[in-house]
Structure 1
Amino acid sequence: MIPRRAAGAALAGALALALAGCGLLPSTSSVEAVDFDEPLAIPPLAESRIEDGVRVFDLAAEEGRTSFSGLPATATRGYDGGFLGPTLRAARGERIAVRVSNELTDETTVHWHGMHLPAAMDGGPHQPIAPGETWEASWTIDQPAATLWYHPHPHGETENQVHAGLAGLFLLDDEESLAAELPSEYGADDVPVVIQDRDLDVETGELRVDGLDGGGGEVGLLGGTIMTNGVVGAFHRVSSDRVRLRLLNGSTARVYDLGFADREVDLVATDGGLLPEPVRTGSVRLSPGERAEIVVGMRPGERAMLRSTPPDLGRIAAGFAAGENDGFDVLELRADDDLRSLPEPSWDAPERRPLDEAAASAHREFELEGRRINGREMDMTRIDETVSAGATEIWTVRNGEMSPHNFHVHDVQFEVLSIDGDPPPAELAGRKDTIYLEAFRAYRLIMRFDGEADPDAPYMYHCHLLQHEDEGLMGQFVVVEPGSSAVEGGPGEHDGHG
């Protein structure tokens, strides 16, 4: 199957190229129309073993070559393979270790996006893995069930490495999620869906990177080829009347608005896990790094198309240049003639009290503009914020310009208190680690830092549009014992130590 252009795409492409030359538009913006005739690839569950009570995973970052849509193979990267990686899975309360070997030609890291864990195990830019070396991260899973993911986080090179294919899912289970009335057969009715766009040459098969390293326009590269789990034009065969899709926006810049034209879905979980109750909705907006779990109803013998409609990006300049006008198909579901009947989504929500605003011991403000947060670009040797272990804080985050941004905080899951003083919509009722920032709006986020103190190992907060992150739209914070301060002089260039 080879992508075919939709009517008018040639003219749109010519306009895109002209505007790209002016720096107004990413190098690729029109999305290819395709035939959905390739089975969806299901990432295998990563093998593990128990050593002295610890669940151990081995993971290798590798060079590879991958053929997309039957085209000639192109250079890619993946974990335990040529593109993307296996799904890691563990349960709350387990002690785990992940031994990551770097078989690439350059330095990398592996960040556990959305995971609550010690800073030295976070896999950010201060935990590099040199070519030929192995790094072990170990921690105890201490958070509710959720769909998380892992990806590289080397300073200044994150976009290049993620775009080449380095990414995978990390699923967490707990008693509540295992007892929930939700589709749960991995790869059948509980389906991982990693959505990414790429700039793919439809003649040579080459995965082009010319738009990276600042050459992809203001928002970063918007690719014209849409992939799900590394497959272009994928379909998934359905054998039950309800299907759970674990959606990840694994793109470097594009925002999706995902849903079905002919039916609503039940939104059951977001970044931090299950919502208080299902939210019936027509679509779900996901910016890079965000996740959502939806349950869609199916009828015997039908086909249903998961589609991204033009996303509402808020008040931004030249929205067409950020993909605001792009609508396209993503994944086709094909129902069998006879379907197993599954119950409506429901669960006993654990008693999780909202974080207490009155208990907040600090209020911080962050404004994103250009490639700076509060007027400063990222400096690996500078600690921007110091937080006390056990503290509850309120962070007010604002996008101060008419360019798309979002905001990701390492280690914690936050709650959205308000947006411009108004209560958040129902889809933001759960805990989050990444949130889209509409321009000139104030997002009040409350979070509790209940992990280990480590004054010389920082966590990151940053825009997750990866070109923005690489070019400096990122800061660092450390968690210290109450009354203490960060190590004088800040973290070291690589290892996080002064």
Structure 2
Amino acid sequence: MPPLLQPKPDKDGVRRFELTMQAGQTRILPGKQTPTWGFNGTFLGPTLRAKRGDRVRMAVRNRLPETSTVHWHGMRLPAIMDGGPHQPIEPGAVWTPHWTIDQPATTSWYHPHPHGSTAKHVYRGLAGMFLIDDDHDVDLPSDYGVDDFPIILQDKRFAADGSLDGDPLKGTFGILGDHMLVNGTFGPRLEVTTERVRFRVLNGSNARMYNLAFADKRRFHVIANDGGLLGAPVEVEEFSLTPGERAEIVVSFAPGEQALLQTVDNGVDIGEGDFDLLRIVAAAQLRPAPAVPARLASFVPITVPPGAKVRRFRLTGHDAINGKPMDMKRIDEVVPAGAVEIWEVENNVYSHNFHIHEVAFQVLEMDGSAPPAYATGYKDTVYVPGKSVVRLAVQFGPHVDPRTPYMYHCHLLRHEDSGMMGQFVIVKPGTEEQVSRVITSSHSGH
């Protein structure tokens, strides 16, 4: 289990988190040491936890030999605190972003986002979960490491000496590994002690899509998407996650039984192959747990107003959106604060997905059809199948900054680094036409 980092508020009411990016060696395969990167350790990072309404301040130290960043994926916060490519942390430097958490309970995560190097930095091990609680959480498993578990899924390739193999920036998608890791562990086993268990599942891979199911075909409940709890649980036998996506599930167990979580080949080009992920062993005696509530949250669908602006994005190849590769000095879209818009993402080639910083969105259509019931909640990352169009109802936040952009991009990291990324700023309503579409070099750090 990743350690839990949940500092108590100080005298000023601020929760202060300290993260150090560092290099080291990790024993992943038996008898071998793998050079890796991690936060506060050699591989991956601690699970951060805070509550809605908390003021948080980070101290992120870079002890790596390269410049990096830390992006708070799924967090609603000002652009200058977002941790994208415009907030670089040089070797030896400390970055101290701070904000007030103002969003529903959710499972978010953090990872590097330096343009051109994200795939390499994440592949080496820089990633961790960031859990947000609120005062309206219903009766769900929530005891971290007891009945509430982070499940970070990643795939790797290894050389004969145990080092990570492959180039994250080569091939159609980058790396599709042949070794599956859960929380950085190969061949993991988990003992559970309660009748019901909550798993917070993160696809932390560079490119692989996971189609998750249990070997015995047991049914379970999806209770949350990227952006928080669903209105009601959805019972399923399987569900899928592309890189960057999260889901929370609740699974029931009987005393003494075993269950095997797998990813099953569903014919998608970024999810090829069947692999065992996690063996779960139930104790001989299990602590009783209440049934999953019929209602989970006061879920308010995103309502698109009449005449809402429609923005269209075309994904072709692996290195451009709307025919333009990423340019750090170019603003692609200017959005008024608080707007609700429709974004249409058209994919003319092989599989992609699409992540928008800062926002919450709901999937309206996937190539003319409704999304799966388990994917109808608030999201920030969505699968865009080959030769399809995905329509999103996108709700933007209140944080105005005409000079500091947020990103939107494919979260297949080889594509992101190759230029399949764009930039938008959020501005005071009515000032859209006044905003320059060029970022000054002094502000962007370049």
| Residue 347 of structure 1: how far off its partner (Å) | 6.1
Query: Pick from 271, 285, 304: which aligns with 1:338?
Result: 285
What secondary structure is seen at the aligned counterpart in 2 of 1:354? coil
Q: Go from structure 1 to structure 2 and tell me whether the alpha carbon gap of 1:281 and 1:482 turns closer, same or farther (over 3 Å shift).
A: same
Are 2:367 and 1:408 aligned?
A: no
Residue 395 of structure 1 aligns with an amino acid whose one-letter code is: W
| Residue 488 of structure 1: how far off its partner (Å) | 2.9
| Residue 257 of structure 1: how far off its partner (Å) | 0.5
Partners of 1:93 and 1:221 lie apart in 2 by 39
Residue 204 of structure 1 aligns with an amino acid whose one-letter code is: D
2:330 equivalent in structure 1: 382
Partners of 2:340 and 2:351 lie apart in 1 by 28
Are 2:201 and 1:247 aligned?
A: yes
| Residue 496 of structure 1: how far off its partner (Å) | 2.7
Superposition map of 1:122-133 within 5 A = 122-133=82-93
Residue 102 of structure 2 aligns with an amino acid whose one-letter code is: D
Residue 128 of structure 1 aligns with an amino acid whose one-letter code is: P
Render the CA deviation track for 1:213-264: whole Å, top value 9, x for unaligned: 22xx101101111110010000000111111111110000110011112201
What secondary structure is seen at the aligned counterpart in 2 of 1:176? coil
Partners of 1:363 and 1:43 lie apart in 2 by 41
Are 2:31 and 1:84 aligned?
A: no
Does the Cα contact within 8 Å between 1:389 and 1:480 map onto a contact in 2? yes
Partners of 1:71 and 1:137 lie apart in 2 by 40
Unaligned runs of 5+ in 2: none
Are 2:144 and 1:190 aligned?
A: no
Are 2:230 and 1:275 aligned?
A: yes
Moved more, 466-475 or 418-427: 418-427
Superposition map of 1:244-323 within 5 A = 244-262=198-216, 263-313=218-268, 319=269, 322-323=270-271
1:11 equivalent in structure 2: none
Structure 2 length as normaliser, TM-score? Answer: 0.96
Partners of 1:144 and 1:49 lie apart in 2 by 20
Are 2:187 and 1:233 aligned?
A: yes
Query: Pick from 364, 387, 392: which aligns with 1:445?
Result: 392
1:35 equivalent in structure 2: none
Are 2:53 and 1:93 aligned?
A: yes
Are 2:103 and 1:146 aligned?
A: no
Render the CA deviation track for 1:121-149: whole Å, top value 9, x for unaligned: 00000000000000111111111101100
1:107 equivalent in structure 2: 67
Does the Cα contact within 8 Å between 2:332 and 2:422 map onto a contact in 1? yes
Partners of 1:74 and 1:492 lie apart in 2 by 41
Residue 163 of structure 2 aligns with an amino acid whose one-letter code is: E
Partners of 2:351 and 2:102 lie apart in 1 by 33
Partners of 2:307 and 2:114 lie apart in 1 by 32
Moved more, 356-365 or 335-344: 356-365
What secondary structure is seen at the aligned counterpart in 1 of 2:122? helix
1:58 equivalent in structure 2: 18
Partners of 2:324 and 2:274 lie apart in 1 by 35
Moved more, 357-366 or 241-250: 357-366
| Residue 270 of structure 1: how far off its partner (Å) | 1.0
What's the % identity of the aligned pairs?
Answer: 49
Structure 1 length as normaliser, TM-score? Answer: 0.86
Residue 389 of structure 1 aligns with an amino acid whose one-letter code is: A
Unaligned runs of 5+ in 1: 1-41, 314-318
Are 2:4 and 1:48 aligned?
A: no
Partners of 2:300 and 2:30 lie apart in 1 by 51
Does the Cα contact within 8 Å between 1:128 and 1:495 map onto a contact in 2? no
Render the CA deviation track for 1:290-315: whole Å, top value 9, x for unaligned: 011111111111110000011343xx
| Residue 184 of structure 1: how far off its partner (Å) | 1.4
| Residue 48 of structure 1: how far off its partner (Å) | 2.1
Render the CA deviation track for 1:174-207: whole Å, top value 9, x for unaligned: 1222xx2211111121111101001113x42112
Render the CA deviation track for 1:59-103: whole Å, top value 9, x for unaligned: 110111111132321211000000000000000111111110111
Moved more, 92-101 or 42-51: 42-51
Does the Cα contact within 8 Å between 2:6 and 2:49 map onto a contact in 1? no
Partners of 2:307 and 2:228 lie apart in 1 by 23
Partners of 1:494 and 1:223 lie apart in 2 by 40
Are 2:32 and 1:72 aligned?
A: yes
Residue 45 of structure 1 aligns with an amino acid whose one-letter code is: L
Query: Pick from 161, 181, 186: which aligns with 2:121?
Result: 161
Does the Cα contact within 8 Å between 1:395 and 1:445 map onto a contact in 2? yes
Q: What is the aligned-residue RMSD (CA, Å)? A: 1.6
Render the CA deviation track for 1:297-354: whole Å, top value 9, x for unaligned: 11111110000011343xxxxx3xx343x00100010011111111111164443432
Partners of 1:477 and 1:333 lie apart in 2 by 43
Does the Cα contact within 8 Å between 1:360 and 1:392 map onto a contact in 2? no
Partners of 1:323 and 1:174 lie apart in 2 by 34
Moved more, 148-157 or 421-430: 421-430
Tell me the matched-pair count.
Answer: 442
Partners of 1:197 and 1:189 lie apart in 2 by 25
Q: Go from structure 1 to structure 2 and tell me whether the alpha carbon gap of 1:353 and 1:212 turns closer, same or farther (over 3 Å shift).
A: closer
Does the Cα contact within 8 Å between 1:73 and 1:206 map onto a contact in 2? yes
Does the Cα contact within 8 Å between 1:380 and 1:492 map onto a contact in 2? no
What secondary structure is seen at the aligned counterpart in 1 of 2:120? helix
Moved more, 69-78 or 376-385: 69-78
Moved more, 367-376 or 341-350: 341-350
Moved more, 448-457 or 376-385: 448-457
Partners of 1:149 and 1:167 lie apart in 2 by 7
2:76 equivalent in structure 1: 116
Query: Pick from 452, 456, 460: which aligns with 2:403?
Result: 456
Are 2:415 and 1:468 aligned?
A: yes
Residue 246 of structure 1 aligns with an amino acid whose one-letter code is: R
Are 2:314 and 1:367 aligned?
A: yes
Q: Go from structure 1 to structure 2 and tell me whether the alpha carbon gap of 1:375 and 1:323 turns closer, same or farther (over 3 Å shift).
A: same
